[in-house]
Structure 1
Amino acid sequence: MLFHVRMDVHLPRDLPPEEAAEILAREKAYSQALQHSGKWRHIWRLAGEYANFSIFDVQDNAELHEILTGLPLFRFMKITVTPLLRHPSSIREDDS
């Protein structure tokens, strides 16, 4: 199943810089491992915001939930999930 996910990050201003750097390093490693596995198909930064649009290709809602709650930045995020379905007019065979 494909999902469009918007993630808005809100790091607390009083988060110690060392702790923030450690969390961000874990986040990068986690997200890149998911990208290499094919589960996190696309990620785009939103210009001017600490946010991204991503496309996930996972088995079901439960797997997506497990991935998202495993994000090191999860506790600092507002996440919006939209399930996607291949459009009948799409010419791309890999849209499903």
Structure 2
Amino acid sequence: MRLALKLGQCDADHFLRKLSASQLLEWFRFAELEPFGARVEQMQTAGLRAQVANYLRKKGSEPFTAQDFVLGYKPQVQPKQMSVEELYRRFTGQS
């Protein structure tokens, strides 16, 4: 759908029927070299927002990153490492 949309094709099924396997593979390779679409545009915008925010932030405060401005981004929470004893107590209900 994204490729059809990017190329101005309103009927994605018709577009895919016309596209050969080698052409599709070529598009996949091109997208690896030069990503395109909404996700890339969102990252570019987030980078610009981070630059403006860093320019305006207070001295000494933590700098912003592009990830701070990506819509729907949630930082990965690292699970706490537990010892074997802690795991045993947790799953057996012992304190």
**Could you say whether these structures have the same fold, taking a TM-score greater than 0.5 normalized by the shorter chain as the test?**
no
Task: Give the TM-score taking structure 2 as reference length.
Answer: 0.30
Higher relative contact order (CA 8 A, sep 6+): 1
Instruction: Tell me which protein shows more strand as a share of its residues.
Output: 1
Instruction: Tell me which protein shows more helix as a share of its residues.
Output: 2
Task: Give the TM-score taking structure 1 as reference length.
Answer: 0.29
